[in-house]
Structure 1
Amino acid sequence: MRLWLHTIILLTITGFSKAQHFIHLAILGALGLVGLWIMHTLLQDVNKLFSRPPLGPAKFFLVKRSVNEGDYFENGTLQDPMSNVSIDWNRILINDPVGCARSFVCQLAAEDPKLSSIGKEKIYYQLLRSTNRKGWAGKEIRFALNYGINSKKTQSCRGYYKYCPFSISTMRAVLHFLGAVA
């Protein structure tokens, strides 16, 4: 009887140690899925901003199920696709704990106009529309935009949002790789 008790205790301890590894694996898997979901959500918003087809390697990986987002008719009038873009800034800012979205907005506003690219006007237009929204996300975007306009230096924005490790050129390179910015 004593041998059976020792065997059951040994198997129980072994089961708990194996369960711990399984729990670690399950947590890592869940975190990986959450990371993929966040990337998917952010890329959907980037794809809404820009209607041109992706370039380079991204064109092989991005698949759209919708119709082309060019000019289209609705109720007999020509609609601008930029006027129908709805970006969920609350969700973006909640899922951006280090403040890279705010840093990008600030650096974009502080950037020298001579160095700006073609895509800046589209992003800037959406940001100006977003600052009119009520709520904390509109205030955050408005603050980052005003801070960038007043500072006139991208380095001061990087100093204010010090937890974001990316410069505006790096973030633009990522957007360019994904086919979102010219």
Structure 2
Amino acid sequence: MGYLSHTFILLGLIGLSKAHGFIKLVILAALGLAGLWMVHTLAQDYGNISGHGGGGGGGGGKAFEKRSIDDKTQYNINWEFVLSRDPARCARSFICQLAAQDEDRLDVVGKKILSLTRSSAQKDSWASKQLLEALKYGETVSHPTQCMKMYKLCPYTSQTMTTLLKLFGG
């Protein structure tokens, strides 16, 4: 190899090392957008459950099913669908943060989400185990920020996610 090819290789390696930080930023931004999309999907489900209709589109219909049995409405969230499309684990972080708070201080949205999660976590599936893990961890920690340390890839607090649910969920 000649001097010119060594120079190009060296410059390429220097460029790659400089781009490493940018690549990490792009990956973090992509995970953040995936987390926002997941919160949007949950907001659509919440909108359907609360009777506000939700925002339409975006996959909410695939994750949510409503059934009436003897005038009792049962809500069925397909948590397998939701959690499998949540690479940043924002749904689990949200559940954990809600469980870490005093339930008397939660707003209506937080109480409904916890209630839905607790009823869904009773099944024997991969998603139920994930939900139960988030619930149990949230109940054992002293502050919701500890949940954010557990689910590091999700940068959102429960307050931010609740605001998004209210905004997009009706």
**AA in 1 matched with 2:167:** F
Asked if 1:138 is matched to 2:131, the reply is no
CA deviation map 1:30-77 (0-9, x unaligned): xxxxx8x978754442233322x37xxx8xx659xxxxxxxx986xx4
- Size of the aligned set, in residue pairs, is 127
> Matched residues in 2 for 1:48 and 1:121: separation?
16
Give the conservation status (yes or no) of the 8 Å contact 1:110–1:153. Answer: yes
User: What is the 5 A alignment of 1:99-178?
Assistant: 99-178=89-168
> Matched residues in 1 for 2:109 and 2:81: separation?
23
Question: Percent same amino acid at aligned positions?
Answer: 33
Residue in 1 that maps onto 2:50: 50
Q: TM-score, normalised by structure 1?
A: 0.60
Q: Name structure 1 gaps, 5 residues minimum.
A: 1-34, 64-71
Residue in 2 that maps onto 1:96: 86
Residue in 2 that maps onto 1:87: 77
Q: Name structure 2 gaps, 5 residues minimum.
A: 1-33, 58-66
Residue in 2 that maps onto 1:78: 71
Which of these two proteins has the greater Rg computed from alpha carbons? 1
**Helix, strand or coil: the match of 1:86?**
strand
Q: TM-score, normalised by structure 2?
A: 0.63
**Helix, strand or coil: the match of 1:85?**
strand
> Matched residues in 2 for 1:149 and 1:62: separation?
33
